[in-house]
Amino acid sequence: MHRIMVRTWCFLALLLTASFALAQAEFSADVVETQKGEKGPTKVYFGKNKMRFDSGENGGRTGTVIMDLATQSFVIVMDQQHMYMEMPSQAMEKRGMFNFFRTGDAEDTCAEWLKLERNKGGTCHKVGSDTVNDRKTVKYEGTNSDGEASTIWLDPKLRFPVKWQSKTSGGELRNIQEGAQPASLFEVPSGYTKMDMGGMTKRPQ
């Protein structure tokens, strides 16, 4: 479970670094890590103001992160344990993560990129149009405040990265399926128990 959560949070951190808008069209896709051999996939679902990330490991263990951008909250759902955790949003709020998903322009995203604390003092420029997995994209290159370089391919229709590459990470979205997503995907299943983050003990909801 720990590795599942780490992989999911690495992807979320990547999106934060990219600084792009929440998808305007609902869709689902597979996230495949391509750095040092392919890993994954992590399933991603985008609904209206909500996002869901599903990861899996050998042995059938699964983990899910559900983000609600309207209420600025998110939970981690552990299917094997039939439990869920409500995670504090303060760290994400300080980084502007919730707002980041709501803003941006596919054709001019550098201003948003450079507003992020991590990227202040860095660089950003639009390379131009490119095609990734048969989808039209806008390619950007930039560096963060530490001078670390990364490249992002942004899908103007989805307004979301479909490919990313840096020295330490890389990946892409595959099997993109546009269409409305069921509301149940973004809800904690009934009968699941809430975990008390203070004492890390079970507490019936």
- Band of pLDDT at residue 33, cut at 50, 70 and 90: confident
36, part of any domain:
yes
110, part of any domain:
yes
Number of domains composing the chain: 1
Q: What is the pLDDT of residue 202?
A: 44
Q: Which residue has the higher pLDDT, 127 or 161?
A: 127
Is the Cα torsion angle 112, 118, 120, 122 positive or negative in sign? negative
- Band of pLDDT at residue 200, cut at 50, 70 and 90: very low
CA distance 182 to 190: 16
Residue 34 has pLDDT above 60, yes or no: yes
CA atoms within 13 A on the CB side of 189: 12
199, part of any domain:
no
Q: What is the pLDDT of residue 21?
A: 47
- Band of pLDDT at residue 128, cut at 50, 70 and 90: very high
197, part of any domain:
no
Of the candidates 119, 123, 155, 159, which has an alpha carbon nearest to the alpha carbon of residue 139?
Answer: 155
201, part of any domain:
no
Please report, in angstroms and rounded to a whole number, the separation of the first and last CA atoms in the chain. 22
Give the domain range for residue 175. 2-191
Residue 32 has pLDDT above 50, yes or no: yes
Q: What is the pLDDT of residue 29?
A: 93
Of the candidates 161, 166, 172, which has an alpha carbon nearest to the alpha carbon of residue 146?
Answer: 166
CA distance 204 to 139: 48
116, part of any domain:
yes
205, part of any domain:
no
User: How many angstroms separate the Cα of 13 from the Cα of each of 17, 26, 179, 185, 191?
Assistant: 6, 21, 26, 22, 30
Average pLDDT rounded to a whole number, residues 5-10: 52
Q: What is the pLDDT of residue 10?
A: 52
Question: What secondary structure, in 3-state letters, does 98-160 show?
Answer: HHHCCCCCCCCCHHHHHHCHHHCCCEEEEEEEEEECCEEEEEEEEECCCCCEEEEEEECCCCE
165, part of any domain:
yes
Q: What is the pLDDT of residue 58?
A: 47
Write out the two tokens for 57: 């490991």
CATH at residue 143: 2.50.20.10
- Tell me the per-residue pLDDT of 38-94, one tens digit each, with 9 for 90 and over: 666 788 898 887 889 888 654 555 688 888 877 777 888 988 889 998 876 654 544
